[in-house]
Structure 1
Amino acid sequence: MRSLFSVTLLLLLALTLTTEASKKAKNHKGSKHESRSRPASECTPAETQYGKCVPEHGDCGDGLREATCKDRTDKIHCKIPCNWKKDISDCKYKFGPWGACDAATNTKSRSGTLKRALFNADCQTTVKVSKPCSPKVKKPRGEKKSN
């Protein structure tokens, strides 16, 4: 009976130590997940050449981009928003209001001026984007529904 109790106590102690070790490994700041998200090199961002963000599935969402400096190339995580334009995704623009709906093409457009370029991207100084017109007519604020 004593030997069964001793073996049970020994297994419980080993299980506790294994659980504590795995918790410490997960909370360690130098984890492998963190090293994948940014390149571990002595290069400054200005010296690093960044590639385009390539989504892992479909045409938006989580993806990877290559970061090259000197003789080293790393893959770093990136994200393409699903409601954004792929060709200007690394460029940030300040956009004006949407224009009126063009009845011929059923689209409305607006232009934007460059605020900043991310990852040393080549960006146009001004861009024009368009989208389909909404079939719904919006009511001005303050009007109540009539039932």
Structure 2
Amino acid sequence: MRRLLTVTLLLLVALTLPTEATRRAKNHKGGKHEKTRPASECSAAETQYGKCVPEHGDCGDGLREATCRDQTNKIHCKIPCNWKKDISDCKYKFGPWGSCDADTNTKSRSGTLKRALFNAECQPTVKVSKPCSPKVKKTRGQKKSN
């Protein structure tokens, strides 16, 4: 009887150890931050970051230099494909689009600085423009005409 109890207890311990190890591995919150953080003891305030340079084209995954004291590391970064290249490290709060300028066929809006990423030097306000849409927007009550 004692032998059966010992074997049962050993089997129970042997079955719970692998499940505990996989639970710890699943709850590990590493991933993205480990890949992008420089491998030095420097704080973010001490580190100077360069511009994000995409690997292919104008946007997507890329690399940026992070320099602290006399160490320079390359860290991963990403430039969104729908974002402006010259203000990519600066985040702005934009107002609504203005009306279409018939002379230039563009509409514009301005934005005020919300925050600067990676100690970037940002302009306090920016103005962006885009071509006017050729489609005329309809109000909700209008129906299609055939």
Alignment TM-score > 0.5, same fold: yes
Instruction: For structure 1, list consecutive stretches of 5 or more residues without a partner in the other structure.
Output: 1-23
Corresponding position of 1:91:
90
Taking only aligned residues, the RMSD between alpha carbons, in angstroms, comes to 2.4
**Shift of the alpha carbon at 1:66?**
0.4
Indicate yes or no: 2:107 matched with 1:111: no
Partner secondary structure for residue 40 of structure 1: coil
The amino acid across from 2:56 in the alignment is H
Q: Does 1:74 align with 2:73?
A: yes
CA contact (8 A) 1:91 1:116 kept: yes
Consecutive unaligned residues in structure 2, runs of 5 or more: 1-21
1:36–1:75 CA contact under 8 A, matched in 2: no
Aligned length: 123
Contact 1:53 1:63 in 2 (8 A): yes
Deviation at 1:34, TM superposition (A): 6.8
The alignment partner of 2:108 has SS state of: strand
Q: TM-score w.r.t. structure 1 length?
A: 0.74
1:2-41 mapped onto 2 (5 Å cutoff) = 36-41=35-40
**Structure 2 length as normaliser, TM-score?**
0.75
Change (3 A) 1:118 1:32: closer
Question: CA offsets per residue over residues 90-118 of structure 1, 9 Å max, x none?
Answer: 00000000001111100000000000000
